[in-house]
Amino acid sequence: MPKLYEYFGLIVLFYSNDHEPVHVHGKYQGSESKAEFIIDNGMITEIRYSSVKGKRPLGSKQMEDFKSLVDYYAEEIIQKWTDYFLLHKPVSPKRITRKITGKIR
C-alpha cells in the first residue's frame, strides 16, 4: 500500500489493489475515511468524503486535516494515482511538517 503523505500523524495512502474511481484513504490511530475525486473532462469537479465500511471514521480534527491536505494536493494525488495504477511507476511519500493553509485549486 503506497503511502503518499504523512501529516501530523495522519497517513494518506492508496491500497495496492484499489479500484476506480480515483480515491485516497486517510488513516489516523485506527480510524479511517476516504476521499473520492469526481473528474469531468479531465478536471476535478468535486471531492466526496466518506467513511470506510468496517472502520471508525476519522475524528473531526483529523477529518479537517484530511480535507485540507486532499484539497491542497488534489492535482498531485491524481498524478500519483496515474503513475502508480496506470503507468506502474513507484510513488514517493511526502512528510508535511507545516500546517496547510489556503487552496491550490
pTM above 0.85, yes or no: yes
Give the pLDDT score at 103. 61
Helix (H) or strand (E) holding 94: strand 94-96
Residue whose C-alpha cell is 480535507: 67
Q: Can you tell me the mean pLDDT for 33-60?
A: 96
Partner residues linked to 39 by β-bridges = 44
Give the pLDDT score at 18. 74
* Domains in the chain: boundaries: 3-94
Count the neighbouring beta carbons within 10 Å of the beta carbon of residue 105. Answer: 10
